[in-house]
Amino acid sequence: MSQKAKGIRVEREVRGTLRLESRYHTLPGVDGMKIFLDGKFCGEREARVSVFDHGLLYGDGVFEGIRAYNGRVFKLKEHIDRLFYSAKAIHLTIPMTHRAVMEAVVETCRRNRLREGYIRLVVTRGVGTLGLNPNRCKNPSVIVIADKIQLYPPDFYRKGMEIVTVATTRNLHNAVNPAIKSLNYLNNILAKIEANIAGCEEAVMLNSLGYVAECTGDNLFIVKEGRIETPPLSAGALYGITRRTVIDLAAESGLSVTEPNLTRYDLYNADECFLTGTGAEIVPVVKIDARVIGSGKPGPITKKLVAQYRALTNSTGQPI
């Protein structure tokens, strides 16, 4: 490439950056955390939605939790894809293009100088009446928050965590499909309350047939005789992006991964168990319903996958 051609390319890149930075503006007199709200950036005190927003009144909307590592947003396209799939499933039109949402996420990280952290992306149905009719909501709201998160204490990642099975059943596919990452998380919250009452941070949720679906905020994996198993999506598991990443990492290492229906019996007799999620990352499980799993310590396959995942998150993603 000639020096002139290189110069033109750099100029275009710079101009593209300037256009992106000038697309949104920050409300005057606002300091501290910058939150993207419907095309504008404002401080956290000024970031407000109406009490008539159906996201508040009925949990009518969708969301994504996304991670940033080492100055990059991890699996950004995949998260935005899932956001649009969830929105389509509830007949919600996101008032931005796929690319514009991605740019808004990156710009929010940039304005908050976030290199390592957690991004919460929310799309609500918007302001409507006190009735259920979503057609009365004309302008959906798009919100991006870039901050920090720590779901579990550091000791859980080193020593493993204890979880319990709860009575709250995972949503039926023909009720509120578990594949939809909606703002209505009451099913998960009720299960979380049961876990907390039992003295645990996380719970195993079964589906209506008694098979393992997932945990309240994470997908679940077990290891048995060198094989990795995880509940199928049809059992009520979320289409987890970290779940998919772990399956791919395992395959790269030559590890067998299958998706059979699992019962509590299978969990109790596993050699290893771990949970996956964007917020949780990969966390070992060493006890379920007072049954010790394997040796009672994080197993070798779990540790290997944790190391692979950390290496991947530290080196890939959309630059901020």
Measure Cα distances from 88 to 57, 84, 181, 219 in Å.
20, 6, 11, 23
Cβ atoms of 263 and 308 within 8 Å: the answer is no
CA distance 91 to 202: 31
Q: List, in order, residues 6 or more apart from 234 with CB less than 8 Å away.
A: 173
Which of 34, 75, 181, 192 is catalytic? The answer is 181
Active site residue 181: yes
The phi and psi torsions of 106 (rounded to 5 degrees) equal: -65, -40
Measure Cα distances from 125 to 56, 66, 103, 105 in Å.
9, 21, 21, 19
CA distance 49 to 56: 9
**In the block, which residue shows the tokens 């679940």?**
220
Which residues are catalytically annotated?
181
